[in-house]
Amino acid sequence: MNPVFNQPINIQFPKDISMTIKREDLIHPFVSGNKFRKLKYNLLQAKAENKTTLLTFGGAFSNHIAAVAYAGKEQGFKTIGIIRGDELPNKINENPTLIFAQENGMQFEFISREEYRLKSEKSFLEKLKAKFGDFYLIPEGGTNELAVKGCEEILTDEDSVFDYICCAVGTGGTISGLINSALPNQKILGFPALKGNFLNDEIRIFAKKDNWILISDYHFGGYGKINLELIEFINAFFEENKVPLDPIYTGKMVFGVIDLIRKNYFPANSKILLIHSGGLQGIEGMNIKLKEKKLPILNNND
Ligand SMILES: *Cc1c(COP(=O)(O)O)cnc(C)c1O
């Protein structure tokens, strides 16, 4: 049985606009949302190549790191996580994501931010091969051609009724899959969770159509940045709809879509589908930071 379903959102909007959220966050208890989609064909490929080890990259609170650790263990792979931040080895026990990954067997290599920038360079990968032996490489965030193929399976026939499909954007793999499988009359709106203009080019590598646009006004100051307004929005959205959103990606995207509805961005009678790409494992780590900053915490995850 597929645990993903489309859930109507009960907010009354003008002009008969309707909003529905696809609960991809429910696809697996630990390999959340789009990370499940992105890993599916990569793990099959790793097996086809007789690899026994997966190696990937991520930040200290990365949903992707948590997903690779769990999925790797579940399918019998050794996993290695190259983690950004050489100050972290002594802080693993303060970080729920790293604790989770470690408990699921992931071996860490912590590197400086400068070294991390070399992550796609051949000479750096050769160095990692010399150190760890042969591995199947999954890029940062999991995005490659096979990941996009997996994300092309997010939309199904029942989704043909929607006019707009909205998703959060990190590396661009998920939106590329949505673009490729959407109907020509459907428009895909991507909400980057980080600053910068490189994403359009990234997406054009994988996306085969032009029915999409990035809306860059809702990153809240950059990747992982959050403010009181966003916290209160996520908590209120949970109160009203019983849908938990994560603070890094889906919270910002849903905030943006609702703001655009209020600003009359969407024509009357638009049917909007939001993709809940998961990421809820990040709430615990974010709440630790919020407490340190004496901000209210996210109370949408129980
Ligand atoms: C990783 C992630 C994204 C970004 O996906 P990309 O394919 O990298 O654009 C969006 N939402 C959540 C919850 C994620 O964990």
Residues 154 and 16 in one domain: yes
Q: Rounded to a whole number, what is the largest CA-CA distance in the chain?
A: 61
Pairing of strands 6-8, 18-22: antiparallel
Residue 114 has φ and ψ, to the nearest 5°, of -65, -45
Residues in Cβ contact with 6 at an 8 Å cutoff, skipping those fewer than 6 apart: 20, 21, 22, 23, 158, 159, 273
Render 222-255 in DSSP notation, one character per residue: STT---HHHHHHHHHHHHHH-----TTTHHHHHH
Note whether residue 211 is domain-resident. yes
* CATH number of the domain where residue 194 is located: 3.40.50.1100
Instruction: DSSP letter for 278, please.
Output: -
Å from CA of 275 to ligand 1 middle: 10
Residues 26 and 157 in one domain: yes
In the prediction, which pLDDT does 302 show?
66
* Host domain of residue 217: 6-30+148-292
In the prediction, which pLDDT does 11 show?
81
Å from CA of 277 to ligand 1 middle: 6
pLDDT of residue 31 exceeding 90: yes
Quick: pLDDT tens for 278-292. Answer: 999 999 999 999 999
- The domain total for the chain is 2
Query: How many Å apart are CA 34 and CA 275, to the nearest integer?
Result: 9
Query: Is 224 touching ligand 1 by the criterion CB < 6 Å?
Result: no
Residues 158 and 266 in one domain: yes
Query: How many Å apart are CA 160 and CA 199, to the nearest integer?
Result: 26
Domain boundary among 77, 112, 142: 142
Residues 237 and 270 in one domain: yes
Quick: pLDDT tens for 70-119. Answer: 999 999 999 999 999 999 999 999 999 999 999 999 999 999 999 999 99
Our mutation pick for probing the ligand 1 site, out of 24, 37, 41, 63, counting the most ligand atoms within 8 A of Cβ, is: 63
Q: What is the overall mean pLDDT for the chain?
A: 96
172-187 average pLDDT score: 97
